[in-house]
Amino acid sequence: MIPLLQTLLDGLVLGGVYAFAAVGFSLIFGVLGVVNLTHGVFVVLGAYAALLLHEVVGLDPILGLPLVMAALFALGYLYQRTLIAAAVERASLVASLLVTFGVALMARNLLQIVASPDVRSIATAYSFAGLSLGPLRIDLVRAAGLLTSLVLLFGLALLLNRTAFGRAIRATAQQPVGAALSGVNVRHVHGLTFGLGGAFAGASGAVIGMMLPFTPSSEAAWTLNAFVVVTLGGVGSPQGALLGGLLLGVIATLTAQYVGPAFQNAAMFLVLVLMLLLRPQGLLGHAFAASR
Amino acid sequence: MSSPPILRAEGLRYAYRGVPAVQEVSLSVGEGEIVALLGANGAGKSTTVNMLAGVLRPAAGRVLWRGEDITGLPAHRVLERGIALVPEGRLIFPQMTVMENLQVAGTAPRAAADFSRRLDEILAIFPRLAERRAQPAGSLSGGEQQMLAIARGLVARPELLILDEPSLGLAPMLVRAVFDLVRDLNARGITVLLVEQNLHQTLRIAGRGYVLEKGRVALSGTGAALLDDPYVRQTYLGM
């Protein structure tokens, strides 16, 4: 019984971070309709930025989150307003798939030159400390990562549902022409939404960097993770990402524990295919779909 | 025309992927007028007003607002000048509440300063919306959605309100309510450009009108003159 509970706990912790790592992708897809294949690059950039801050300035990755998020927000905004907007406006949404794919390839190779292809991880002072919950154990780093993920996911939900900026984002997602006629600067909101997605991806990267090893080519895995999470949970909302992330985390750890670590990806794709067959819109559906 | 024009469109042209929708449209709207823009389906009415409001960028021609060239400005900046378009098909935000729909419009710089007072005024004009303020807009009836779209257009205190087929798909009683509302808003000092297929009712409240055909202005004149025009009577009224 205890090993099962421990596995479930590990899965939920991992799942919370998976959700955090996917929510930016989900938001961008839900609002702009752009499948951002550069998503994993933003995650990995966040990890390297946190590593840099930690090694050069000695800043804890979690305390450094505001800096990482601000930098990747700016990067995301500029990226959308230039390359992605040009692709979508001159050609189509599908063109953005090609553009983001190409940029991801280039960014990964550039990162391999700048940061080397070596495996990195961020070792904080509390990296080897743990907490005990009765017979269950959780690493302090993972607990901190999970807490950070949940707080920021909750913060994003509040931002979307309770603020004027959030209303502008939802209005733009549901009805862009109606939003423009209501005085919303739709292009700016698209840029800001992309920036927000990039900031959350980067923040998740900083947290992931403390928990898991990473290399420049990890970006592909994190884009894939986002894809699966969104397919499971549903597009466009932090709630959907959280549900999808937790499910994926539990499935991954249960499989690793009881079937074998080699079968993790197989189980993930099995669930993905089942989901696409049974409920392609995800468990919570598309947050803005009724208007599409 | 009784007053100098506040809006002038000159030689507007637009094509969708090479298919011309508007070939040559010039029109003007004077302060305080109700001007009708009439024509059959596909005549280019919506394309024309979408160019006026900044939703579409004209391929040729100019839009002048109080003498200033506003051609090609995006919609949110046209709204700042005081021109609001209530679009065809309403384009409300279905998964947001009635209140949130109005709040989105209330964030525009032109509207933000006195939004709460403006909201009270608007909810007094539309008591139905006041009752349903917490409901998702998508759950409203067609007539209520149209009211919401008009209310949303009024939030920024427009000087010119462009209504694109507000009576489309509404029951006859509601159509009359919409026309009464338009007349009422005009009496409060809002200039109106009314796009309609419903010639009879429109020309009764409109001072002047333009009839579009295949993307061009085929006829223009006062409401009464157009109603008496043998061509209009034959083509559009079946008389």
Please state the ipTM of this predicted complex: 0.95
B85 near A CB under 8 A:
yes
Contact B162, B149 (CB under 8 A): no
Question: Quick one: average pLDDT of B19-31?
Answer: 96
Percent of chain A with pLDDT strictly greater than 90:
86
| Interchain pair B95, A179: CB under 8 A | no
Residue B29's identity, in one-letter code, is V
Query: Is residue B2 predicted with pLDDT exceeding 90?
Result: no
B107 near A CB under 8 A:
yes
C-alpha span between B154 and B149 (Å, rounded) = 9
B127 near A CB under 8 A:
no
B227 near A CB under 8 A:
no
**Residue A153: how many other CB atoms lie within 10 Å:** 21
Task: Provide the pLDDT confidence category of residue B221 given band limits of 50, 70 and 90.
Answer: very high
**Cα–Cα nearest to A221, from A7, A37, A48:** A37
C-alpha span between B13 and B26 (Å, rounded) = 10
DSSP SS3 for B29: strand
DSSP SS3 for B121: helix
Kindly report the backbone phi and psi dihedral angles of residue B28, in degrees, each rounded to the nearest multiple of 5, phi listed first: -145, 155
Q: Among A164, A171, A180, whose Cβ lies nearest the Cβ of B55?
A: A180
Write the CB contacts of A248 (distance below 8 Å, at least 6 apart in sequence).
Answer: A15, A18, A225, A228, A229, A232, A268, A271
Contact B33, B79 (CB under 8 A): no
| Interchain pair A290, B107: CB under 8 A | no
Which residues are B164's β-sheet partners? Answer: B195
Q: What is the pLDDT of residues A139-192, one digit of tens each?
A: 999 999 999 999 999 999 999 999 999 999 999 999 999 999 999 999 999 999
CATH of the domain at A177: 1.10.3470
Q: Considering chain A, what is the average pLDDT of its residues?
A: 94
| Interchain pair B79, A168: CB under 8 A | no
Query: Is residue A209 predicted with pLDDT exceeding 70?
Result: yes
| Interchain pair B91, A175: CB under 8 A | yes
**Residue B83: how many other CB atoms lie within 10 Å:** 30
Question: What is the Cα A211 distance to its own chain's centre?
Answer: 15
Where are the strands (E) in chain A, listed by range?
Answer: 130-133, 136-139
Task: Provide the pLDDT confidence category of residue A292 given band limits of 50, 70 and 90.
Answer: very low
Write the CB contacts of A129 (distance below 8 Å, at least 6 apart in sequence).
Answer: A139, A140, A141
Query: Is residue B69 predicted with pLDDT exceeding 90?
Result: yes
A47 half-sphere exposure, CB direction, 13 A CA radius: 29
Q: Residues 144-203, chain B: which have Cβ within 8 Å of A? A: 152-153, 155-156
Contact residues, chain B, for A182 at CB < 8 Å: 79, 104-105, 108, 152, 155
pLDDT of the residue at B201: 87
| Helix H or strand E segment including B21 | strand B19-30
Look at chain A and report how many structural domains it folds into: 1
pLDDT of the residue at A290: 54
Identify the burial level of B210 via C-beta atoms within 10 angstroms of its C-beta, where 0-12 means exposed, 13-18 middle and 19 or more buried: buried
B74 near A CB under 8 A:
yes
Task: Provide the pLDDT confidence category of residue A291 given band limits of 50, 70 and 90.
Answer: very low
Helices marked H in chain B: 45-52, 75-81, 98-106, 109-112, 115-125, 127-131, 142-154, 172-187, 199-205, 223-228, 230-235
Question: Quick one: average pLDDT of A211-238?
Answer: 94
| Interchain pair B74, A185: CB under 8 A | yes
Which residues are B38's β-sheet partners? Answer: B196, B211
C-alpha span between A40 and A107 (Å, rounded) = 10
Contact A283, A244 (CB under 8 A): yes
Task: Provide the pLDDT confidence category of residue A72 given band limits of 50, 70 and 90.
Answer: very high
**Cα–Cα nearest to A34, from A74, A70, A86, A105:** A86
| Interchain pair A182, B110: CB under 8 A | no
C-alpha span between B51 and B53 (Å, rounded) = 5
Domains annotated for chain B, with CATH where assigned, are: 1-82+158-239 (3.40.50.300), 90-157 (no CATH)
Domain containing A264: what range?
2-291
DSSP SS3 for A276: helix
**Cα–Cα nearest to B48, from B204, B238, B195, B227:** B195
Q: Output DSSP code: residue A289.
A: G
Question: Quick one: average pLDDT of B134-152?
Answer: 96
The size of the A-B interface in CB pairs under 8 A is: 87
pLDDT of the residue at B200: 84
Q: Output DSSP code: residue A111.
A: H
pLDDT of the residue at A212: 94
pLDDT of the residue at A128: 85
Question: Quick one: average pLDDT of A111-128?
Answer: 92
Residue tagged 């946190």 (tokens): A50
Question: Quick one: average pLDDT of B59-83?
Answer: 97
Identify the burial level of A258 via C-beta atoms within 10 angstroms of its C-beta, where 0-12 means exposed, 13-18 middle and 19 or more buried: exposed
- Could you tell me the two tokens for A65? 């989150």
DSSP SS3 for B11: strand
Residue tagged 């499910």 (tokens): A247
Contact residues, chain A, for B91 at CB < 8 Å: 175, 177-178, 181
Q: Among B87, B95, B138, whose Cβ lies nearest the Cβ of A178?
A: B87
pLDDT of the residue at A155: 97
